[in-house]
Amino acid sequence: MPGKSLVVYLTAGWPDRATFLKAAKVAAEEGADLLEVGLPFSDPIADGPTIQKTSSAAIRAGMNYDRALDLSQRLPPGLPRALMTYANPLFVRGWAGAFGEIRRAGFAGCILPDVPAEELVTYLPFRPRGFYLVPFVAPTTADDRLARVADAARDGAFIYMVSLRGITGARLSAAAEREIAGRVRAIRRVSHAPVYVGFGVRSGAWAARLARLSDGVIVGTAALEALRRGLGPFGRLLRELRRSIDIRPPAI
């Protein structure tokens, strides 16, 4: 992907199936490079209140693993996508079978926020050819673990840099920005995989600053909050983010 990447998170089937598909189309039109589709889960430990609420609402409306994969086959064909899911739904199906199903549904990879890199590497042999798994790096990740993170980021995978200590939806600060810069530099010493920064991306200004430090940004909570207000606000937010990360502010 040329330039800086914009990754947009949507909860599968939320706020309803038709709007979910329309939102994905808007994301493609507004320049998203990758769609992160969240599989609704009953115990989303890494997610903040907004994503938890959308996940619960989707489950109440009947969304589940099979329906999410079926629905995802109707997403815009030109927009790459990765499935964000916790490990348990895949574990109960068997890793090889689940990865195959996810790949056949059109996903290029899988994001597993509750699986550490050391464990993620053990699942790599179960993937279909060309299917990637995304490792996470947190502000608390020790330097001596980064080589294991790099080892997991194979076959087109990116590294998901968690910008904050805590759950999704928290807010960024100047101190967090400095910490992120240091973590990204450390990652680059051991890996050539792109580094995308997520958690706390709420405005064009912050997206631009984080994109300057990394290869792209992931927007989740802010995207869902905008979509709750309608497709218009959702599209305007993505347009602001796309323009902001393309401008690239001067170094500070």
**Can 177 be counted among the known catalytic residues?**
no
Rg (CA), the chain: 17
**Can 36 be counted among the known catalytic residues?**
yes
Quote the distance between the C-alpha of residue 126 and its chain's center. 21
Residues 6+ apart with CB under 8 A from 226: 233, 234, 236, 237
Active-site residue, from 29, 30, 43, 47: 47
At 210, the amino acid letter reads L
CA distances from 203 to 34, 172, 180, 221 (A): 18, 10, 17, 11
Active-site residue, from 30, 36, 177, 215: 36
Q: Which two tokens stand for residue 85?
A: 């899911």
Residues annotated as catalytic (active site), given as ranges = 36, 47
